[in-house]
Amino acid sequence: MKRNVVILLLIALVASASVFAAGTAEQSTAAQKEKTVLEFWTWRPEDVDFYAKQIAKFEMENPDIKVVQTAYKNTEYNTILAASLSGGSGPDVFQGRAYGGLATFADSGFLEPLEQWMPELKNYSPTALLGATSPTDGKIYGSPAVSQTVFMYYNIDVYKKLGLSIPKTWNELIANFEAVSKAGYLALGNGAKDGWTLETMLGGMGPGFYGSTDFYNAVVAGTKNFQDPAFIKMIEKMKSLTKYMPNMYMGIGYDDMRSNFINEVSPHLIAGSYEAAYFRTQNPNLNFGIFAVPGEKATDPAYVSVYADMNFAMNANSKNKDAAVKFLKFLSTKEFGKAVVTEMKMVTSVPGVDASADPFIARVLELQKNATPYLFLVGFRYNQPTGSSLWQAAAQGVMAGTLTPAEAAKQIQDGIASYYKPFQK
């Protein structure tokens, strides 16, 4: 009798445990179902770990939201994103381009205007907001993320070894190239396979020769054009650098360029501020510095090109806009902005972040005292053919020897004049 009672009690306990377990499983499944899943896309696979860390912080603060990060190669990103958005799907939140790149998506109805969702955008600088605003309707379609600066990276250890100093004139820069070449190094790591890297080269070495901001303002106004003698002279200067670039430089792409510098094959690379964190990750022992490429005379300001590089945007067709706004607001906090500075080594656009504590960023900000707009990206990427696409094709022609600098300048001018009214007067 006692044995039967014990057996009945055990059966009851097992049944209760099963019911409880089933209930717990159902609750767990329900909790999972209640989570809002946000798709977040970027064009920087090298920053996946950084964003994973930031997403984890966001999810701790917002346990009802799960963020799934997808990173695409930068050269493929725009095509994949455009195809996805035009099909009515795509990510909820994503890294969006600036200036004309933003305007194209906004004018197509793919982006959600953000002022009604994020009144704090009014606190951003006018310069940062310029890259996030469509010139068509004047609405803000992105939360400004970072700005970039283009300059010369150099290997400090090689400079010390050879007794070189930061050049104050173009001739001193060429003398440094000659010195490192004689020492067995590749003087300049840049290549010309990828057209966009020649736009980077323009931004890094060109402003001091074509006239920097004065020239930019004049061509935007139409009082000067790209057949200006100073602009042609700048192209000639760029062509002269091929002597110091790798053999078969027309076959040297972006990854090869970075490898040349990271592996200390070359002590010089014209590139953007966005490279610094990647360099440190790939070679923690790489001792590098930066300087602005000088002009002809020591008294000439050494300019760097600056541009708003990235905005965080929301898909106009997102079904999770409330959750997406929470994530956008997180990406606009001072805490996130500080992490961008200290971990990614980039200049954040978030207002109120003290970036000067990081030595590299402090140096970037010092060089920005002689900043000028990144010519074609800021001024001429709003219509087709864009100034950037025209420059990239023409510059590749010059570097390959199929176009003269004057022919390249005419090709650029004619392309932009086909739609740009100030050039049609």
Q: What is the pLDDT of residue 81?
A: 97
- pLDDT at position 10 is 42
Of all residues in the chain, the percent with pLDDT exceeding 90 is: 89
Q: Do 93 and 211 have their domain in common?
A: no
The pLDDT value given to residue 423? 97
CATH code where residue 90 lies? 3.40.190.10
Q: Which long-range contacts (CB under 8 A, 24 or more apart) does 410-419 make?
A: 410/227, 412/226, 412/387, 413/225, 413/226, 413/227, 415/385, 415/387, 415/390, 416/226, 416/380, 416/385, 416/387, 416/390, 417/225, 418/385, 419/383, 419/384
Mean pLDDT of all residues in the chain?
92
pLDDT surpassing 70 at residue 360: yes
The verdict on 57 and 183 lying in the same domain is no
Q: Side chain identity at 132, as an amino acid letter?
A: A
Using an 8 Å Cβ cutoff, are 88 and 59 in contact?
Answer: no
Confidence of residue 29 (pLDDT cuts 50, 70, 90): very low
Distance CA 164, CA 147 (A): 30
pTM, full prediction: 0.84
Residues 47, 162: one domain? no
Per-residue model confidence as pLDDT tens digits over 246-263? 999 999 999 999 999 999
Residues 417 and 371 in one domain: yes
What are the angstrom distances between the C-alpha of 278 and each of 256, 347, 392?
14, 15, 25
Taking Cα atoms as reference points, which of 41, 43, 52, 123 lies closest to residue 343?
52
Q: Indicate if 160 and 288 belong to the same structural domain.
A: yes
- The model's confidence at residue 75, banded by pLDDT at 50, 70 and 90, is confident
What is the average per-residue pLDDT within 102-129?
A: 95
Q: Domain for residue 26, yes or no?
A: no
Among 319, 344, 363, where does a domain finish? 363
Reply yes or no on whether the pLDDT at 44 is more than 50: yes
What average pLDDT does this structure show over 343-349? 92
Q: What per-residue confidence (pLDDT) applies to 300?
A: 93
Residue 194 shares a structural domain with residue 91: no
Q: What is the pLDDT of residue 33?
A: 58
Q: Is the model more confident about 13 or about 289?
A: 289
pLDDT tier at 338 (50, 70, 90 boundaries)?
very high
The confidence band for 357, taking pLDDT boundaries of 50, 70 and 90, is confident
- Which pLDDT belongs to residue 27? 46
Instruction: Indicate if 189 and 293 belong to the same structural domain.
Output: yes
* Same domain (yes/no): 325, 399: no
Residue 394: inside a domain, yes or no?
yes
Q: Which of 341, 383, 385 is nearest to 363 (CA)?
A: 341
Q: How many domains does the chain have?
A: 2
Residues 333, 397 within the same domain: no
Burial of 21-53, coded b for 16+ CB within 10 Å and e otherwise, reads eeeeeeeeeeeeeeebebbbbbbbebbeebbee
My answer on whether 183 and 226 are in the same domain is yes
Does the CA dihedral 272-100-42-341 come out positive or negative?
positive
The pLDDT of residue 355: 80
Answer whether residue 58 is part of any domain.
yes
Q: Say yes or no to pLDDT of 11 above 70.
A: no
pLDDT bracket for residue 6 (50, 70, 90): very low
Are 160 and 243 contained in the same domain?
A: yes
- CB contact at 8 A, 106 and 135: no
Task: Classify residue 19: in a domain, yes or no.
Answer: no
Do residues 336 and 235 both lie within one domain?
A: no
- 154 found inside a domain: yes
Q: Could you tell me the residue range of the domain that residue 328 belongs to?
A: 33-145+310-363
